[in-house]
Amino acid sequence: QLSPMPGGILCAAVCDGEESVWTGLAHRENPQTAQTWLKKLKALLAFWSAGPRIVHNAKFESAWMRSAGAADPALLYDTMLQACWLNENEAHGLDALAVRYLKAPPWWIHLPQDQSFGLVPLQTLGTYNALDALWTHRLHQFQRGEPLEKKLLDELCIPLVKLLVTMEQRGLHVDSKTYRLALNELDREAQLRERKVTRSFQGLNLRSSKQVQTLLYQKLKLPKQYIRQKGVKRLTADGDALQVLAKL
């Protein structure tokens, strides 16, 4: 979906790295006049545009703010995109990244499961959003901890954040002939590598994570690799795990 999700902002949270605050906007538990709501929304849009801003999934945030009439901030940092640049093979959800790198507690556990945010009590939703803002800020600080990573983010990642939103809104031109040639070449290379592996391990389906895990950890007896997802430790054969095993 190229357009931002419809609907009003239920509540908003900001953080300076140490303290988070949140305020209700369009939540059903926060009855207010249209004039009061509009005043809050205008203040939020002006705050966004003043920048710089740090968010997780800036593409969505920026698309929503643009649709509401706000200008992009001069500097827009995206911890999700930064995580993709630094390690494209890991999970890029805020919860997974904060738990993995910052040892964050599972702040989402008080959210009701399979329930619309609009039905979640405002106090619960506001606290959750405030903690989202806190861990986003701290994750950004962590990602910029090394000189090489800081240079990569400043010169390559950050300039692309707003461009990606514009690309989705306006579209882009692709040379279909060149695209097909590149796609065919990649497909031939993938098939060649797959045949080499399946010749050695008959019946193996490389698209089955369970079969790959069985091969790596039961048949080949390689050290088991784990990830944490929402606080739960799980066996994995993802890209990170394969990179670790390849160095053994």
Question: Taking the model in full, what pTM does it have?
Answer: 0.68
155 vs 246: CA distance, rounded Å: 30
Lowest-pLDDT choice from 4-18, 173-187, 207-221: 4-18
CA distances from 107 to 10, 92, 98, 140, 199 (A): 19, 17, 10, 18, 47
Q: How confident is the model at residue 231 (pLDDT cuts 50, 70, 90)?
A: low
Is residue 213 over pLDDT 50?
yes
The pLDDT assigned to 7 comes to: 60
Name residues whose C-beta falls within 8 Å of residue 198's C-beta, 6 or more positions apart in sequence.
204, 206
